Amino acid sequence: MKPRLSQRFQFSLAYVLVAAVVLSLLQSWLLAPRTVEIPMSKFLELLRADKIEKVALTDREVRGVAKPDALPATPDGAGDRLRRWLGGDDDLRVFTVTRIPGVDEQSLVRELEQHHVEFTGRIESTFLRDLFFGWVIPLGIMVAIWMFLMRRVGGGPTQALSFGRSKHKIFDRKELKTTFGDVAGVDEAKAELIEIVDFLKNPKKYQRLGGRIPKGVLLVGPPGTGKTLLARAVAGEADVPFFTLSGSEFVEMFVGVGAARVRDLFEQAKDKAPCIIFIDELDAIGKSRAGATGFIGGHDEREQTLNQLLAEMDGFDSSKGVIIMAATNRPEVLDQALLRPGRFDRQVVVDKPDVRGREAILALHARNVVLSPNVDLGVIAARTPGFAGADLANIVNEAALLAARKEKDAVEMADFEEAIDRVVAGLEKKSRVLSDKERDIVAHHEMGHALVATSLPHADPVHKVTIIPRGVAALGMTYQLPTEDRFLLTRSELEDRIAVLLGGRVAEELVYGEISTGAHNDLERASELARLMVTKYGMSERLGLATYGDTTPLFLKGAGFGGEHNYSEATARTIDEEVRAILDRTHDRVCSVLTTKKAVLIAAARELKRIETLEGDALRRALAGEGVTEETRP
C-alpha cells in the first residue's frame, strides 16, 4: 500500500503547478510580438508596395508580418521594454486585418502571388477558446467561491460538509486546572457535586452495594452564579476529559442535523469514558414540546434534537463513567421528560451568594490584586446584596482598573466604592450639566429618600447620597446598606420600603408646592410592590388569602400569548382600589414624617448641593439636623 501524501504537501504541489502555468502564459504573452490591427485598404496598399513579408489566411481575418518600418511605430510600454529585455524581436510588425464578407478569395491569392508574398491558409478552430472561456473559467470561479464559503462556514471544505459532526470543545486532563478551590460562595452546590467527583474517581465504591449514580445533573440558578465554573471544577477535581458546548450549537436550519450531532457527541464521549459532557443553556433545545404543535408553530429541528438527546440518555449506562451535566437559568420552561428519573434526575441549585459567600468570592478574585490596608471586603460584601459571582468579579476588576488609571500603588476602598456605583448605576455623566433649579430639586428629592429611611424603623440604613448624574436617566442616587441578607419580608417592612420610595416625591411637594418627573421610577417600583402585596402575598383584608395573576402557561407566553387572568372584572377593580389605598396611606405617613423634619430636609439638601456627595460622618450629621439654622426652620 502506497503512503498517502500529506494534505500540506498536496496543497504545496497544487500551488507550484498553478504558478508554473501562470508564468508560462505570462512568458508567452511577453515574448509574442506586438499586433496592430489595420483596415483592408491599408493592407492592400502595403501589399502593392511590396512591404508584406508573409500572411496567414483564415475565414475571418488576415494575419501577417510587415517589413521593417512598414507600419508606424507605437510608444513603448512596460510590456514592450520587458519583451525586448527577454529577447523579443522588436523589428517585426505583426498586423491583423478583418476580412470583408464576399471578397473573392482567388483574386486575393493571385495578388499575393504577384508580389511574391509567402502565404498559408488554416481553418480557425474555436473549440479550445470556447471551452476555456465558456466552461473552464466560469466553473473555476464557481469552485473558488464555493471553497471560500465552505472554509468560512466550517473551517474547511471537508468540515463544512460534515454537518452531523458535534461542535463541542474537549479539554483533556492537562488543560483542566479549575478545581473546587477556585469556586466560592456556593458551598451547598459543591457538597452536592462532591459525590459525582467521588464516583468518577472510585466507581467500585458505589457499584459494590448496587448503587447507581445519576445519569444527569442539572445546574439551576440565575445568570452569573458560576454554573459553568462548577462543571469545570467537577471535571478538574475528577481529572477526566470535559466535553462542553452550548445548547444552541445543536440546532441548525436543516432538520436532523442536531440529532446527528447529539449521536456523534455521545459516541465520542463513550470512547473517552470516564468523562463529563456539559451542555450550557440547556433550554435552547430542552424547551417544553407542548408549544411546538397546533396553531402556535414550532421548530421541528429543535424537537428532533431533544428527542435524540432523550433517547441517548436512555441508551447509555452511567456505570461506564459518562456523566451528563447541564446548566439553565430557566428550569420552568424545560420539558418534563428531561426531568424525570433516569435522565436529569438530580437538580443542583446554584443560587446567588449570601453576605459570607460574597466576601469569600471577593477574596477569591482579589488574590492577584494589590489591596490597600483600608480595604474591608466585608463592607463591600454587605454593600452588594443580590450580586452574583460574575458581578463581584466585575467589581474587583473595575476597582483595579480605576486604581491603575489614577496611577495608585494599591487598590483602595474608594476605588471599590466607585466600582460598585458604576455597576449599579452606570458611569458618571460629568458632561450632563444641570441648572441650579434642577440641582436644587434633585438635592431635596434625594434627601427626602434619606430622611424617610432614617426615620422609619424597618428601613435599611442610608450609606451614601449623591446628586452626580449617572447612567441613562439617574440624576441622583440614595444608597442604602442592608445590615444582613433578608429572605422574608413582613408587611411593615414592605410598607417602609414603599415609604422610602415615595420620600423623594413628597419632599418636592413640601418644598416647592409642585411635583416633577424625577420620581417616575420610584412610583413604578412602589406601585409594583403594592400590587405584589395585594395579589401575591395575601396582605389585603378585602381580598383575603387568595392570589391573583396571569394563568397563561409559560410556553404560550414565549409565543406571544398572555392576558388570561384568574379573577373577574370586579376583582380587578378591587385590586386597583387596594393598591391605591396602600399608596395613599403610605403617602400620608411620609408627609407626616417630612413635615416635622422640613428644616432638616432643607439644611441637608443645601449641604448636599454644595458638596454633591454625602457619606459617612458628614451624612450622619446632616441627617441628624446639625446644619439646621434659623433660616431653614419652617
Active-site residues, by number, are 446
Contact 609, 443 (CB under 8 A): yes
Residue with cell 452588594: 384
**Nearest of 288, 320, 319, 323 to residue 302 by alpha carbon:** 288
**Distance between the two ends of the chain, CA-based, in angstroms?**
104
**Nearest of 96, 84, 94 to residue 30 by alpha carbon:** 84
30's enclosing H/E stretch is helix 7-31
3-state secondary structure of 176: coil
Ordered DSSP codes for 563-632: --BSS-HHHHHHHHHHHHHHHHHHHHHHHHHHHHTHHHHHHHHHHHHHHSEEEHHHHHHHHTTTT--GGG
Alpha carbons within 13 A on the beta-carbon side of 544: 2
Contact 412, 403 (CB under 8 A): yes
Torsion of CA 28, 29, 33, 39, to 10 degrees: 130
The Cα–Cα gap between 633 and 600 comes to 8
Residue with cell 529577447: 87
Contact 450, 507 (CB under 8 A): no
DSSP percent split of the chain into helix, strand, coil, nearest 5: 55, 10, 35
**Nearest of 43, 53, 49 to residue 108 by alpha carbon:** 43
**Total residues belonging to the chain:** 634
Ordered DSSP codes for 426-489: -SB-TT-PPPHHHHHHHHHHHHHHHHHHHHSTTSPPEEEEE---BTTTBS-EEEE--SS--S--
Which residue type sits at 322? V
Chain-centre distance of CA 369, in angstroms? 27
